[in-house]
Amino acid sequence: MIAVALTLVAVASAVPVADTREEVRRVYVEPIKIVRSESSQQPAGDYVFSFETANGITREENGQLKEVLDEENKPQTVVAVRGAYSYTDNDGKIETINYYADETGFHAEGPSIPTVAPSRR
């Protein structure tokens, strides 16, 4: 009985296992150059920045400190941000996304971002 079990183990271990690893190819991609970059930060915390890359990607953003009331009606300082970014989509069309973020959260709008229909009451 032991001999049969050992024979089965030997046969099972002799079966070749298929190599399922895929060959990993490393491809060097030249980094996209930044052709314009501007930024400014104020001592009070406000800031503005923008940049553009050689392939047409752009981004601009500004932030301002804003005092709001928290859940307990205590004043709290938050950063209110507004900005936009643009890029060329796969069809060659320029896509622009506008956004803002404040005490209500992050909100973005653009042609590729679905909108939610208002709920009926």
User: For 13-47, how does the pLDDT look when each residue is reduced to its tens digit (9 = 90+)?
Assistant: 665 666 667 777 888 989 999 999 999 999 988 99
Whether 63 is covered by a domain: the verdict is yes
Whether 3 is covered by a domain: the verdict is no
* CA angle in degrees (0–180, nearest 5) for 19-22-23: 115
Go through the chain and tell me how many residues it has: 121
Whether 70 is covered by a domain: the verdict is yes
Predicted pLDDT at 24 = 78
Beta carbons within 10 angstroms of residue 24's beta carbon: 5
Whether 38 is covered by a domain: the verdict is yes
Residue 3, Cβ density class (10 Å: 0-12 exposed, 13-18 middle, ≥19 buried): exposed
Confidence of residue 115 (pLDDT cuts 50, 70, 90): confident
Residue 6 pLDDT more than 60? Answer: no
Residue 86 pLDDT more than 90? Answer: yes
Q: How many domains does the chain have?
A: 1
Whether 93 is covered by a domain: the verdict is yes
Q: Calculate the average pLDDT of the chain.
A: 86
Q: Is 63 or 113 the better-scoring residue by pLDDT? A: 63
Q: Residues 99, 37, 32, 89: what is their CA dihedral angle, to the nearest 10 degrees?
A: 30
User: How far from the centroid of its chain's Cα atoms is residue 102's Cα?
Assistant: 19
Q: Is 12 or 84 the better-scoring residue by pLDDT? A: 84
